[in-house]
């Protein structure tokens, strides 16, 4: 059993959920931080303060490893305690994994915390939101700035680093039957965290995150992750759901689904990404094959409903499905398999689409004109999938 221990400076992490406890928290602890988890879930916070540690189980197909994460505590994110934590001289970094829609809510809390920190005359800080979306920290920054005075804004501009990033580790909810503690979490061994190094506040240079890649080319890393891993994940989830599979590994072991996902990632999204970012073909092939292997991991038991959650968010322009489609079209590349994934997303949550009429809904959401080629491809796949999997409606 590998033991991870922290030694000094503090981090606040908003969101003590799967990825918070399973990746960001442990990585911060491993980098020497005491991690204060901030969450609305009072039960989780109580348990964190009671236990002071929990286990992260690495669930790879060929490896079983348990890491104990200690020196962690929790505060309820809606209590005054969180504002006090911001004023602490030991605080060095603030991270989040609360979900894209929650950033607006924590924006006000972070603004109050930053105000308290300025009043307490404490020093620099870095904030990194780790949600699965493009420019998540810039989005959070806007919400925070909505609640700051002009003086506070000026202080934040001079003192606080707000860096975008890309975070990758698959962390599904862990079945409590499989462990002794409700805090324990099961994760895959693979992880990647790329952070925009130019946006970080480096005075004092406390930030030394072990296992983090600091880069000046974040856009390429973000697009590679979102348009490959998350794109393939979403397509697997939606097609898997239609075919009656419960988990992602079951879905991608189905030859038909696997072929669509692989072609979407390699021939369509991948071909576009390789052109735009000049990724080395061999390295990119390894990246795709590794993703297919990660999706196939039966020990993760990752439910298609978790991966497919909030389909309208996933269908947003520039996000994991329409983003790579637009990029492929820009380079004159095929999009047939991406279109199938998009069509399947419309069938995942079809009740609300049914009411408005699918043709209009597809046009409104995708921006593809009714009667146009791309709109037609999605609609055709939609009808084919609907006919084929009628029994699941
Ligand atoms: N699970 C993964 O595989 C994974 C990997 C990379 C990134 N992410 C991203 O991380 C984010 C969280 O995903 P997750 O799977 O951990 O979800 P989750 O539901 O397990 O965790 C979210 C946590 O945020 C908490 N929360 C909700 N509202 C809050 C608030 N106002 N203040 C503080 N805490 C609040 C919830 O109580 C919960 O504990 C998402 O943006 C997701 O895209 C997830
Ligand atoms: O978190 P979402 O809902 O945007 O997407 C679901 C999964 O694809 C996602 O959580 C992945 O597991 C994660 O992005 C892996 O790094």
Residue 243 and residue 251 in contact, taking contact as beta carbons nearer than 8 Å: yes
Give CA–CA dist 238/70, Å, rounded: 38
Q: Which of 81, 85, 80 is nearest to 10 (CA)?
A: 85
- Return the exposure string of 191-227: e unless at least 16 CB atoms fall within 10 Å of the residue's CB, then b: bbbbbbbebbbeeeebbebeebebbeebbbbbbbbbb
Q: Are residues 156 and 239 in the same domain?
A: no
Out of 196, 215, 234, pick the residue that ends a domain. 215
Any residues with Cβ below 6 Å from ligand 2, and which?
A: 132, 168-170, 229-230, 233, 307, 309-310
Q: Residue 370: which CATH number?
A: 1.10.1040.10
In this prediction, residue 178 carries a pLDDT of 72
pLDDT under 50: residue ranges of the chain: 1-7, 204-205
DSSP state of 41: -
Which pairing describes strands 125-129 and 10-14: parallel, antiparallel, or unpaired? Answer: unpaired
Q: Are residues 243 and 355 in the same domain?
A: yes
User: Hey, what are 100's tokens?
Assistant: 């894209």
Q: Which of 100, 337, 342, 322 is nearest to 227 (CA)?
A: 322
Position 2 scores a pLDDT of 38
Q: d(Cα 353, Cα 161) in Å, to the nearest integer?
A: 41
Predicted pLDDT of residue 8? 66
How many independent structural domains does the chain possess?
A: 2
Final residue of a structural domain among 183, 215, 247 = 215
Ligand positioned closest to the Cα atom of 15: 1
Residues 185 and 331 in one domain: no
The first and second tokens of residue 134, run together, are: 């493009």
Ligand index nearest the alpha carbon of residue 238:
2
Same domain, 172 and 245: no
The whole-number pLDDT of residue 391 equals: 54
Tokens, residue 376: 């037609």
Domain end point (choices 197, 215, 233): 215
Tell whether 260 and 354 lie within a shared domain.
yes
**Number of helices and strands in the chain (H, E):** 20, 13
**pLDDT tens, position by position, 47-105:** 999 998 999 999 998 877 999 999 999 999 999 999 999 999 999 999 999 999 999 99
Q: Which SS3 state, helix, strand or coil, does residue 286 take?
A: helix
Ligand 2 centre to CA of 217 (Å) is 22
**Which residues, 6 or more positions from 105, have their beta carbon under 8 angstroms from its beta carbon?**
98
Interatomic CA distance for residues 393 and 381, integer angstroms:
16
Dist. CA 220–CA 217, nearest whole Å: 6
- Indicate the helix (H) or strand (E) that contains 58: strand 53-60
Instruction: Pick from 14, 83, 98 the residue to mutate for probing ligand 1's pocket: most ligand atoms within 8 Å of its CB.
Output: 98
29 neighbors 72 (Cβ within 8 angstroms): yes
Query: For residue 115, what is the DSSP state?
Result: H
Looking up residue 63, the CATH number of its domain turns out to be 3.40.50.720
Q: How far is residue 109 CA from its own chain's centroid?
A: 21
Residue 392: its pLDDT value, please?
56
Together in a domain, 168 and 241: no
Same domain (yes/no): 155, 14: yes
For residues 185 and 258, state if they share a domain. Answer: no
| 3-class secondary structure per residue, 333-370 | CCCHHHHHHHHHHHHHCHHHHHHHCHHHHHHHHHCCCC
Task: State if residue 76 touches ligand 1 by the CB under 6 angstroms criterion.
Answer: no
Q: Which two tokens stand for residue 70?
A: 């200690």
Q: Are both 210 and 248 inside the same structural domain?
A: no
Residue 281 in 3-state DSSP? helix
Residue-wise pLDDT tens digits, 298-341: 999 999 999 999 999 999 999 999 999 999 999 999 999 999 99
Nearest ligand to the CA atom of 25: 1
CA–CA separation, 212 vs 231, rounded Å? 23
Going from the Cα of 361 to the center of ligand 1, the distance in angstroms, rounded, reads 28
pLDDT at position 5 is: 39
387 and 261 part of one domain: yes
pLDDT of residue 3: 38
Determine the pLDDT at residue 203: 58
Residue 12 φ then ψ, to 5° = -105, 130
Atom in ligand 1 nearest the alpha carbon of residue 16: 39
The residue written with tokens 């950033």 in the block is 103
Q: Are 177 and 35 part of one and the same domain?
A: yes
Which range of residues forms the domain containing residue 330?
Answer: 220-392
Pocket test for ligand 1, best of 12, 14, 17 (most atoms within 8 A of CB): 17
ipTM beyond cut 0.95: yes
Q: Which residues, other chains included, contact 132 with Cβ-Cβ below 8 Å and sequence gap of 6+?
A: 100, 167, 226, 230
165 and 22 within one domain:
yes
Q: Does the C-beta of 108 come closer than 6 Å to ligand 1?
A: no
Buried b / exposed e along 306-342 (16+ C-beta atoms within 10 A): ebbeebeebbbeebbbbbbbbbbbeeebebebbbbbb
Say if residues 385 and 340 touch (Cβ distance below 8 Å): yes
């Amino acid at each position: 059993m590998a033991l991870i221990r922290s030694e000094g400076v503090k981090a606040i992490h908003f969101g003590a959920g799967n990825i918070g406890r399973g990746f960001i928290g442990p990585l911060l602890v491993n980098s020497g931080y005491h991690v204060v988890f901030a969450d609305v879930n009072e039960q989780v916070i109580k348990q964190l303060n009671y236990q002071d540690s929990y286990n992260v189980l690495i669930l790879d197909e060929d490896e079983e490893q348990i890491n104990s994460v200690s020196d962690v505590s929790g505060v309820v994110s809606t209590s005054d305690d969180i504002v006090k934590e911001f004023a602490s001289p030991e605080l060095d970094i603030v991270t989040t994994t609360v979900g894209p829609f929650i950033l607006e809510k924590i924006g006000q809390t972070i603004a109050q915390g930053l105000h308290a920190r300025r009043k307490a005359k404490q020093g620099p800080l870095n904030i990194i939101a780790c949600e699965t979306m493009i420019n998540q920290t810039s989005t959070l920054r806007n919400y925070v700035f909505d609640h700051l005075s002009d003086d506070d804004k000026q202080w934040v501009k001079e003192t606080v680093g707000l860096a975008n990033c890309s975070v990758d580790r698959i962390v599904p909810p862990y079945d409590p039957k499989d462990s002794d503690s409700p805090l324990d979490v099961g994760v895959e061994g693979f992880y990647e965290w790329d952070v925009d190094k130019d946006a970080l506040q480096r005075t004092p240079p406390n930030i030394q995150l072990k296992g983090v890649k600091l880069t000046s080319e974040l856009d390429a890393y973000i697009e590679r992750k979102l348009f490959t891993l998350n794109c393939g994940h979403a397509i697997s989830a939606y097609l898997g759901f239609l075919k009656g599979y419960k988990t992602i590994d079951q879905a991608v072991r189905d030859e038909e689904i696997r072929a669509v996902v692989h072609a979407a990632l390699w021939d369509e999204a991948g071909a576009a990404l390789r052109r735009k970012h000049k990724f080395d073909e061999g390295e990119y092939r390894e990246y795709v094959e590794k993703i297919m292997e990660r999706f196939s991991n039966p020990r993760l038991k990752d439910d298609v409903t978790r991966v497919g959650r909030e389909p309208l968010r996933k269908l947003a322009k520039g996000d994991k499905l329409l983003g790579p489609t637009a990029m492929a079209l820009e380079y004159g590349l095929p999009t047939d398999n991406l279109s199938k994934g998009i069509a399947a997303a419309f069938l995942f949550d079809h009740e609300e689409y049914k009411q408005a009429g699918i043709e209009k809904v597809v046009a409104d959401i995708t921006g593809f004109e009714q009667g146009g080629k791309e709109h037609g491809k999605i609609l055709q796949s939609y009808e084919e999938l609907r006919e084929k999997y009628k029994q699941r409606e």
